[in-house]
Amino acid sequence: TWHLKKIPQIVSERTFSLDSPKFEAKTKLELNSVCGIECQRKLPVPSSSDLKDLLSYETVFENGTRTLTEVNVLGVALDPAGNTTTQRSSRRKRQIYGTDSRFSIYDKRFMTTFPFNTAVKISTGCSGILISPKHVLTAAHCLHSGKDYVKGSKRLRVGLMKTKSRGDGRKRKGAKRSRREVSAAEEDPEVATGLRRQSKGGGRKQRRSGRKQGTSDGKPSFQWTRVKSTHIPKGWLKGVSGDIALDYDYAVLELKRPHKRKYMELGISPTIKMMPGSMIHFSGFDNDRSGQLVYRFCSISDESNDLFYQYCDAEPGSTGSGIYL
């Protein structure tokens, strides 16, 4: 019954224009200094006015313009107990131990079906998850350093999985290209580069390279879609302490055009005791397994009002993956 709990409603109240960002920050796929559970124990419970401020959000559009939207939060129940945790022992230093428990998914029957096909790739090097026909949830630090938007986020793209077939590339001869090829070239610079390379060779060489492209059967390729707008909460932009606030490390991307696949519905996470098997699951595109969709599941060891600790194996590239139960 955890998913039947109502999600608080965020209602827009006022929108202001801001100066365009510089898009000069460097992408960081790993965070070093963060305000985790121990840090949060020292923080007061946010008031209603605090939540209005922290959940207000910036929007950056594909033309580089930026706005700030102030919001009201309806249907939220504040916990007077504060940021309590299930365990009072301090968190251990992160260590590498045991067997890598990640699973690479090769079978296209799983790769292209729910819930695995809700995983998407972000052009800045992270992962994300589909949460509506036009929206993607990912990590804010994949797009914003806390001070400025990262390089490459102005022309942001989202890659939806598709599997390569053995016939891919056979019809790509000469100067004639299908609308799908042209659209892909417009969406993704890597595709455009590949098409230019094809057009330089002779007909016989093109046919050989076309057949070669289809040999990686079962590996995901991506249908790239441009992002219309990016929304990041003020809680990430300003932080609630001297460190980066992980509880506001999220961003919502609006796609330029809708997809037609099933998406993951948002819900409020239950406590560990109410969680099915006390386990979480997520899939992403870890950098050390290039070209593979990587799935994992693990148990939760600790929790607060906003965060929980887990021991899933992960590598940069999986950052921003959506967690599901």
Where do the H-state alpha helices sit in the chain? 37-40, 48-55, 108-111, 179-187, 189-200, 203-213, 234-238
Residue 164: predicted pLDDT: 61
Choose among 274, 280, 282: nearest CA to 315: 282
Tokens 């330089």 -> residue: 200
CATH architecture of the region 2-164+216-310:
Beta Barrel (2.40)
Determine phi and psi for 84, rounding to 5 degrees: -85, 160
Residue 142: predicted pLDDT: 93
Tens-place pLDDT, residues 12-64: 999 999 999 999 998 876 776 666 677 777 778 888 898 999 999 999 999 99
Residue 60: predicted pLDDT: 97
Tens-place pLDDT, residues 142-182: 999 888 999 999 999 999 988 665 555 444 444 444 444 44
Residue 153: predicted pLDDT: 92
Residue 191: predicted pLDDT: 46
Instruction: Give SS3 for 19.
Output: coil
Question: What Cα–Cα distance (Å) separates residue 127 from each residue in 58, 100, 242, 292?
Answer: 21, 20, 27, 12
Tens-place pLDDT, residues 73-94: 988 766 555 555 444 444 444 5
The residue extents of the domains of the chain are: 2-164+216-310, 165-215
Whether pLDDT at 214 is above 50:
no
Q: The tokens of 6 are what?
A: 């109502």
Please state the pTM of the whole predicted model.
0.76
Q: Looking at residues 236-242, what average pLDDT do you find?
A: 64
Share of the chain above pLDDT 70, in %: 69
Residue 34: predicted pLDDT: 66
Q: Looking at residues 288-300, what average pLDDT do you find?
A: 85
Res. 312 pLDDT band, cuts 50 70 90: confident
